[in-house]
Amino acid sequence: MDSHTAERSAQLPQLAEPRNPGMELDLDWVAAVQANTSAIERRCATLPGRRSVKKDHQAAWLLKAISLIDLTTLSGDDTEGRVRRLCAKARQPVNAGLLRELGMEGLTTGAICVYHDMIETAVQALKGSGIPVAAVSTGFPAGLSPFHLRVAEIEESVKAGAEEIDIVISRRHVLTGNWQALYDEMKAFRQACGDAHVKAILATGELGSLRNVARASLVCMMAGADFIKTSTGKESVNATLPVSLVMIRAIRDYYDRTGYRVGYKPAGGISKAKDALVYLSLIKDELGDRWLQPDLFRFGASSLLNDIERQLEHHVTGAYSAGYRHSMG
């Protein structure tokens, strides 16, 4: 992808994609899934050095990354004022003068992600922008509240205006190999979402092995997940390249078998522009350009946008700005 193609694709509307309807649980397919940890780690170790883009090409890829960010605030001290400021940042993610220089006026982030209590504030602040509100749900981040309350939380968030729901799975189902229970849980969450798209957070840092990550990914897609997501951002280990490679290849296998595309969202720990570029190159290599659109790929991030803006300012002016000059992101 050249710089002009990347710039144009950053402004493309979300493409119409048939929603993953799910399928019957296929335990034979699940049991056959393996993960060669050493081979996966070797492949990932080569990624940062293999895909190096500079100058206009780098700027174009960074603009693309902005359009794929779920700009997130998930803190206990969130206030309506903070959420409104974050929504303003989603509408105008980069200094207007920089965007004019780059020919990218109108660029926005992919979504805003908040707790349930902040949905109404975010929906009002984003009115008319076309930016969807995503809400974390199902007892986020641990997912240990009573099941009927987790389902009710989804329904309340959809009613409040969330167009996307980020649910957390029960890790114990994966750790004990109870794939039927995970499938039934995910299917119930998908049904509760109705027309809202559902992202299944696997909390991969707590699943014990890459094989468990691969199998959990597959089961969630069989149950109708629209996206699979690495982490809540609250675990000790969040998004990593090996985990991403495993999940991306599960998505590819599911597409090859069923014809339905499922999205991918790495979240937690991605705070530097250079890291975003590595993830984008991995997606391009493994899944192709179609997955480089907001309906199939998102970054879950809060500080990534600030570093991208600093890199774009350097590209335009030749100098880095101080971090404190940038609004919250």
Which positions are catalytic?
Answer: 166, 229, 265
Question: For residues 190 and 225, is the Cβ–Cβ distance under 8 A?
Answer: yes
Classify burial at 10, counting beta carbons within 10 Å of its beta carbon; exposed 0-12, middle 13-18, buried 19 or more: buried
Cβ-based neighbours of 141, under 8 Å, separated by 6 or more: 168, 203, 232, 233, 234, 235
Strands (E), the chain: 69-72, 111-114, 133-136, 164-168, 197-201, 227-229, 263-265, 299-301
What is 53-105 written as a DSSP string? --HHHHHHHHHHHHTTEEEE---TT--HHHHHHHHHHHHS-S-HHHHHHHT-T
Classify burial at 284, counting beta carbons within 10 Å of its beta carbon; exposed 0-12, middle 13-18, buried 19 or more: middle
Rounded Cα distance, 277 and 42, in Å: 19
Three-class DSSP labels, 136-164: ECCCCCCCCCCHHHHHHHHHHHHHHCCCE
Cβ-based neighbours of 165, under 8 Å, separated by 6 or more: 134, 135, 137, 154, 157, 158, 189, 193, 196, 197, 198, 199
Rounded Cα distance, 224 and 189, in Å: 9
Rounded Cα distance, 144 and 168, in Å: 9
- The 3-state DSSP composition of the chain as helix, strand, coil percent (nearest 5) reads 50, 10, 40
